[in-house]
Each structure stands twice: as C-alpha cells, then as structure tokens.
Structure 1
Amino acid sequence: MKIKQFEDKGLAHYSYAILSECAGQVVLVDPGRDPQPYYTYAEENNAKIVGVIETHPHADFVSSHLEISQKTGATIYTHSMVGADYPHQAFDEGAELQIGKIKLRSLHTPGHSPDSISIVLEHDGKDKAVFTGDTLFIGDVGRPDLRESAGNITAKREELARQMYHSTREKLMKLDDSVTVYPAHGSGSLCGKALSDANSSTIGMEKRSNYALQPMSEEAFVKVLTEDQPFIPKYFGYDVTLNKQGAPAYQPSIAGVKMLSKNYKPEAGALLVDARNEKEFKKGHYQGAINIQNGGKFETWLGSIIGPEEHYYLAAESEEQLQELIRKAAKIGYELLIKGAFVLDAVAETSSSVINVGEFRENQDNYTIVDIRNTSEVKDGQVFEKALHIPLPDLRERAKEIPTDKPVVVHCAGGYRSAAGSSIVEAALPQTRVLDLSEAVNDFKNNRK
C-alpha cells in the first residue's frame, strides 16, 4: 500500500492517490483541476485509476473528478446529499470500497458542509489513516459559513458549527490515536482560520493540540468556530456549483480561451486584469485596468476581486506568463470567464503616480490612508491610526466611500495586494491622485513595534 500526497501551493490544497500494489489499482481523493499528475502517478506504478472520492463539493478549487471518470472509467464516490449532477455512486455513512487489501470506509462528518464525508483507510484489519477533506485540518476544523447560499443543501453557520461539534467528537475523535490525518488543505487556505503548516498529523496529536478538539461545551464551540473567520471570496459559491455539476475537461477548456494580438485594446468599459509587475503597470496601462500581479496567490485574489458573473480580459507581460495565468485561472474555473487573453508590453494610455515615501512619512495628515487588509488583520493592530479600512475584496464596490479632498494612499500588509487596491481606487476615482505604499509599508510596521 502507498499513499501519495499532491500539493497545490497556490491554493494550499492537498489531494491524494491511494495505491493498492497487489491489485494494481488507485483511488483518488479530492483531485485538483489538472488530472495529469494523477495519470502520471498511475502509469508510473502500472496501476489503473478505479475510483475518485469527493469528500464534498469544494468551494475553493475545481476538481477533475468528472474528467478523470470519463477518461478512465473510474467510479466517482460522494455523499448522496451532494445531489451530484454527474454519474456517481453514493458513499454515505458506513459505505465501503475494497481495493486489494485496502478497505475505504465512509464517515458522514457534516460541519464544513452538510454533505461532507471523511474516509477511513483500513489495512490488514486495522484503521491506518483518515482523509478528512475540509472537516478536520491540522490545527483547525473547517469553517461553517460557506453553505448558507450554495450547494444542493444549504445550512446556517450556527447549524453547521453544531454539526461539526458532533462530527469531531462522535466520529473522528473516536478513531485510534495512531490514525494518520490527511486533510484537504494546509496553511494559507481560506477554508479555515488557523491551519498549520504541517501536511499531516495523527488523531492523538490533534486531540492534544487542536484548539477545536479541546474539551468545551457545544455552545462554546459554536461561538469560537463562528467568530473571526476569514473573508469569503466571490468565487466560492460558483465553485461549489461547478463541482456539483462536474467541470469541463481541463486541457480543452484552456485551449478554448481566445488568444488576442499583442497589445490588444479592449472595448471601452471592459474589465481588464493586468497581471504584469506593478512597476511596469504603473509606467503605463489601459485606463481602468486592475493590477492583480502574477504570484503565489494570483488565483485567490482573482476570484476575490472579480465576481463569477463577470467576464474579463487577461493581460500578461509574456506568452509564457499568459499561459501560466490561464492555468491558474482554470484552477478556480475562471478560464471560462476570460473574454480574451493577450500579451501587453507597450501601452502608455495612462500611468500611475509614484509615492514619495519621505514626504508621506513627514506629512501623513495631508493624505487619506486606505487600509485594504482583511478584517482579522486589522483587529491585530492598525499600521496608521486614522486609516479608513476597506478590505480588498470589497474595494470595487466601496471605493466611492473614499474621500477625494486629499491624495489617497493605499496599503496592505506587505505590498502585493496594494498594487491591486491602488489600481481599483485609481479607476474608481480618476480625478484623485492615488498612491501605492507598496513594500514601504513594512518600514512603518517595524517602526510601530
């Protein structure tokens, strides 16, 4: 028996291949959008993919379960409450799947979603591992507030938090302390609030160290779980629906993105995501463009700033980067929203003002300062006492709340998000001088310590 963990760092997502060497068969758990890594693993081990288990309809990434099933003939297993639109076999509480000497057993563990399941792996008659999806993380449990208006069955966060209390205590914590815990996400995911950097643990270790598994009343658990959760990106409900339906095949969908000529000029009023480096963007860009720089979290911020009901153009500094960005967009199903993609290397329609940090430092009262960090970050302390707080995911809708009687300085925590934020404010307030504090914010943060 072998367990292979696949990691997508951009989405802090873990997926798994369970290999029965004696049977030459593989079962996948929560695969990502690109199916090729799983095909390659099966081929390397002279094995056939016979099953794909979806622990729930994921909100933060698009799964390739349907494509893999159509290509390999593998059966898709998921809980009947999902109401899946694709061919599948219900894998409800107590259902079992045998491959070689491995037995996979379903536990219905609602809490993150009403239809969540965890998969216990039994080998040689003993429970060895549990694949917990978004129910139990390392150091945390799944947030309960994503299914209030999405999915086949919706539920209020307080109701799901209560279900999580019972799922953890009556199901998962009853497993042997030695059972290895394999979650669907790690640190950096927005599916919880305190995920560890570790990629696995044990039931015993989590019972000792995970705040959510400590002795407490149901009421206390509901309170601690529902408070201080991170923001919900715009794309989360869209991905739940797409995963319930089954996404189109990955490579054909990417190939279907319309490629446009270099320095293409979108129509007036079009939504343009310009992913070039912020320095290049500030030198020259199209009016109204949003500067979401290519980086480790591009797909998260793309889906947090752009809504799934919108269609957008995508620009990059090279053909290679453009293809990379399309692949990243596809991880959340946003390649389907691209009106056209093009390389941009020569545009001077408009430019952005560059901040004089020294002048700002000495005369801060002469500026309106906008803090675009998340609410939880601001609770931990403000960088500037008089800053107006508007989180980046809300900025397009709320930019007109910003006073225009002074130049506007936008800041985040480290400089990456403020490039997007300042470009959004610049587009919304064209008559106002908008400045990006960028990485210089770190000097001000350090001075406050």
Structure 2
Amino acid sequence: MIIHQFYDKGLAHASYAVIRLGKMIVIDPARDPQPYYDFATFNDAEIIGVIETHPHADFISSHLEIHQTTGATIYASKLLGAEYPHETFDDGDIIHLADIKLKALNTPGHSPDSICILVVDENGNDKAIFTGDTLFVGDVGRPDLRENAGNITAAKEVLARQMYHSTREKLMTLPHHVIVYPAHGPGSLCGKNISPDLESTIGHELRENYALKFMKESTFVDILVSDQPFMPKYFGHDVEINKKGAEPLDKSVSAVPRIDKNSALEKGIVIVDTRPVDNFRTSHLHGAMNIQDGDKFETWLGSIIGPDEPFYLIGTDETSLDTLIRKAAKIGYEKNIKAALLPPDQMPEVLPEIDRSDYKFHPDHYSIVDVRNWGEVNENKIFPHSISIPLPELRERLGDIPTDKPIVVHCAAGYRSAAATSIIAGKINSVPVYDLGEAVVEVVRRKAKV
C-alpha cells in the first residue's frame, strides 16, 4: 500500500493518494488535478475513486473534474447534499481497494457532513485515518464556518458539541498506532492551533492535543468557539461551489480575458496590483490595491475582495500573471477577474515615504492604524493609542479612521500594511497615508528591550 501526501503551502492544504495493487483513490483533491494524474501514471495505477471529507470552505476541489476525466467514482456523505454524480459514504460504508478497506466514519463538528476515512490493511489491521478538517495535528477543526453555508447549517455551539462527541467516540477510541493524515497544516484558517507537523498518530494526539484532553463537554465548547481566526469573505462561496462541483481548471482559467496593458479600465472596478511594494509605492493606478504575490496571496485576495466582486488583475510579467490566475482559481475567483494585464506605461500615483525620525520622536503627530488580526492585537498592542482594524475588515471600516492627522499603517512584518495602505490611500486623500512596513519589526524589538 502506498499513501502519498500532496501539500499546498499557500493554502496549507494536504490531499492524499492511496494506491493498492494498481488502483488509486484520491482524498480531498486540490483544484488542479494534474499532480494526481501524474502520480497515478508514475505508479502505473488507475484512479478509481475520489473521496470528499466535506465541502471545503478554503479551497476549490477538483473532485468533479477527476470524475469527468477518469470515470472515478466520487464518494461523499449523504448529508452533504452533493449535486454532482456520487455514491454516499457514511458510517458502515466500505470502499474495497483491492485487498484493503477504506471505512467511513461520520464525524460532525467542523461541519455537519464531515467524515473521516479509516484505512484497514490487507491483514485486517487499522492502519491510518484521513481526518479531513475534523482532527489536525495539535488541534481540531473550527466549528463556525457552517452557520450560513452548505446543505445543512448549524450554530457553532451545536457543532462544537458534535466535535466533542466525534473526537471522543470515534477517533480517540482508535488504536494508538493509527497514523493521522489531516487535510491542513500550520497557517490554515480552519483551525487555531495547528502544529507544524503534517502527520501524527492517535497516540501522539491523545498526549499532546489540547482538544483531546479530559474535560467536560461545556468546557470543550467554550474553548473551541473562542479565539478562532478571522473568516475570509470567500469561505461560504467555496462551500457552495464544492457542493456543486467546479468547472475544469484549464477551461476556466483560459476563459479569463487578457487585455493590452494600456487599455482603458472600466471605472468603479477594483484593481488588484500584485507587484512588490517598492514597485507599487513609486507608481500605480489610482485606487489600486497592493495585494502582493506570495505564499498567502489567495487567502488575502479572498479576504479583501468579495466573492461576487469583479476586479482587474495586474501582474509583473506574463509568467507571474499566469500563476496568479491559477492561484485565484484555487479559491474559485478566476471568474471574478474582469481582465488580466501587465503594468500600464503610465501609472501616476505615488505613495509618500514617512520621515522615520519625526515618527520615532513624535508618534502623536499621526493617526496609527493597526491592521493585524484581533488575536495578535489582544496579545500585544504595539502602539497604545492605535486604532485596530484587521485587514479583512478595513474596506468596510474606512470611516472609523480619523483624518485630522497623517495616517500611519502597520501590521507585524509589512505584507498586510502594504495592502492596507493602498486601500486607505485610494479612498482618503485629505492627509498623507504612510506604510510603516518592515520598520515595525524594529519598533517591536526596541519595546522588548525596555
């Protein structure tokens, strides 16, 4: 038996292939199916099945495309309400992969329709379990993503109680040697305390995972619903797409319009400029948002831009533009792209540079906006009199920013403050808007020494 993990660092998403005697099943595939086809070819295997542990909120799955291309059967819980061809896969159901078995366990908690998949080897021994977003290394799935999305909705407190019983009655009773393969690693917004490790064992999680410690149900619920990370705007949108099944990737991205870099752009349409901050600062289009290309581009794109909001996409060159379109497609945003283009020849807008010495000695001369997440702010407020507006909330809360002084924006390292500065400067022109950028790191170090 071969179990192989495919990992997308940008979305902290893990998917899997299980191969036994020339037959292969894919679990929780990413938007691009090609790596699974390549792996099957390399191992001289036939893809016969795709299993969805739940309708994912943070990425678009290629389950329907794999089915259409290979004829593989899609398996999902009957509770999911899938609108694509599939076979239901719930408690008591078994998929025979040659002489091994994949058994379904209904494990509601992250979502009402979550399942885990227990692998039983050719000797009848419990070998591994694919836990989807139910159990992570060091954490369990957040319970607040299905209050308004999916075939079945439920309050976060209800799902947290279900998670308590799923973990204690279904997962914690498994043999300690069973290997745990989760759908996410560190950085995923589907959990709040995910370990850097990408696999574990039931025994290790029983010893180390805070959520599996002995506690009352009410205590577990209180812990699980508190201090969860922010929810990007696109999460509910992706649940609905995955419930229906997405269009084939290549067909969808090839339909994105490409226009000449000097074309007139329609007024009122958001412009997403992905160039490095130094390039953006010296020249950009009026109102453009600087969401830089990087490991977390798709997460911030889907946190700042709404799922029904069209936008122009500017990339540094043709290669990066191709990559960016495919990144947008990973969260189902390729259809939002009004057009993709290279940087225009004329970009007259410039962001001013802050006078660091004046700011260092006279911070009261400025309105300081902290765009970090609430958890970061609550743990350590860097500037006592700053206004806290997390980046995902910024466009809706621009009216909360005073305009009687120059504005300084900061985050933890510079990426989010660059995006936030561009958003604020695009709407507020009565005072200068400065990006503290990476200089905030030195401020933090200086405070730590005091």
Shorter-chain TM-score above 0.5: yes
SS in 2 for 1:11: coil
SS in 2 for 1:144: coil
Which ranges of structure 1 fall in alignment gaps of 5 or more residues?
none
Q: Which segments of structure 1 move beyond 6 Å, counting only runs of 4 or more?
A: none
What amino acid does structure 2 have at the position aligned with 1:122? V
Are the counterparts in 2 of residues 190 and 232 from structure 1 also a CA contact under 8 Å?
A: yes
Structure 1 position 392, deviation (Å): 0.2
SS in 2 for 1:119: strand
1:66-77 to structure 2, matched below 5 A, reads 66-77=64-75
Out of 98, 101, 122, the position equivalent to 1:100 is 98
1:47-446 to structure 2, matched below 5 A, reads 47-123=45-121, 124-344=123-343, 346-446=345-445
Tell me what 1:38 maps to.
36
What amino acid does structure 1 have at the position aligned with 2:300? W
Structure 1 position 430, deviation (Å): 2.1
SS in 1 for 2:339: strand
SS in 2 for 1:445: helix
What per-residue deviation string (whole Å, max 9, x for no partner) do you get for residues 194-235 of structure 1? 000001000000000000000000000000000000000000
Structure 1 position 100, deviation (Å): 1.1
SS in 2 for 1:26: strand
Structure 1 position 354, deviation (Å): 1.3
SS in 1 for 2:438: helix
SS in 2 for 1:55: coil
Are the counterparts in 2 of residues 168 and 213 from structure 1 also a CA contact under 8 Å?
A: yes
What per-residue deviation string (whole Å, max 9, x for no partner) do you get for residues 248-283 of structure 1? 000111111000112433122221100011111111
What per-residue deviation string (whole Å, max 9, x for no partner) do you get for residues 107-126 of structure 1? 00000000000000000200
What per-residue deviation string (whole Å, max 9, x for no partner) do you get for residues 114-150 of structure 1? 0000000000200000000000000000000000000
Are the counterparts in 2 of residues 400 and 429 from structure 1 also a CA contact under 8 Å?
A: no
Structure 1 position 102, deviation (Å): 1.4
Provide the rounded CA distance (Å) in 1 between the counterparts of 2:323 and 2:431: 34
What amino acid does structure 1 have at the position aligned with 2:9? K
- Larger deviation, residues 395-404 vs 341-350: 341-350
What per-residue deviation string (whole Å, max 9, x for no partner) do you get for residues 34-53 of structure 1? 00000000001111100000
Tell me what 2:9 maps to.
9
Provide the rounded CA distance (Å) in 2 between the counterparts of 1:85 and 1:182: 27
Provide the rounded CA distance (Å) in 2 between the counterparts of 1:371 and 1:151: 34
What per-residue deviation string (whole Å, max 9, x for no partner) do you get for residues 11-33 of structure 1? 0000000001x2x1100000000
- Larger deviation, residues 256-265 vs 314-323: 256-265
Provide the rounded CA distance (Å) in 2 between the counterparts of 1:397 and 1:227: 24
Provide the rounded CA distance (Å) in 1 between the counterparts of 2:92 and 2:273: 49
Which ranges of structure 2 fall in alignment gaps of 5 or more residues?
none
What per-residue deviation string (whole Å, max 9, x for no partner) do you get for residues 312-341 of structure 1? 110011111111111110100101110100
Task: Give me the CA root mean square deviation.
Answer: 0.7
Provide the rounded CA distance (Å) in 1 between the counterparts of 2:189 and 2:351: 31
What amino acid does structure 2 have at the position aligned with 1:399? L
What amino acid does structure 2 have at the position aligned with 1:448? K
Structure 1 position 183, deviation (Å): 0.0
After TM superposition, the score normalised by the length of structure 1 is 0.99
What amino acid does structure 1 have at the position aligned with 2:55? P
What per-residue deviation string (whole Å, max 9, x for no partner) do you get for residues 87-109 of structure 1? 00000111100011210000000
Provide the rounded CA distance (Å) in 1 between the counterparts of 2:429 and 2:299: 27
What amino acid does structure 1 have at the position aligned with 2:3? I
What amino acid does structure 1 have at the position aligned with 2:229? P
SS in 1 for 2:300: helix
What per-residue deviation string (whole Å, max 9, x for no partner) do you get for residues 181-203 of structure 1? 00000000000000000010000
SS in 2 for 1:171: helix
Provide the rounded CA distance (Å) in 1 between the counterparts of 2:187 and 2:92: 32
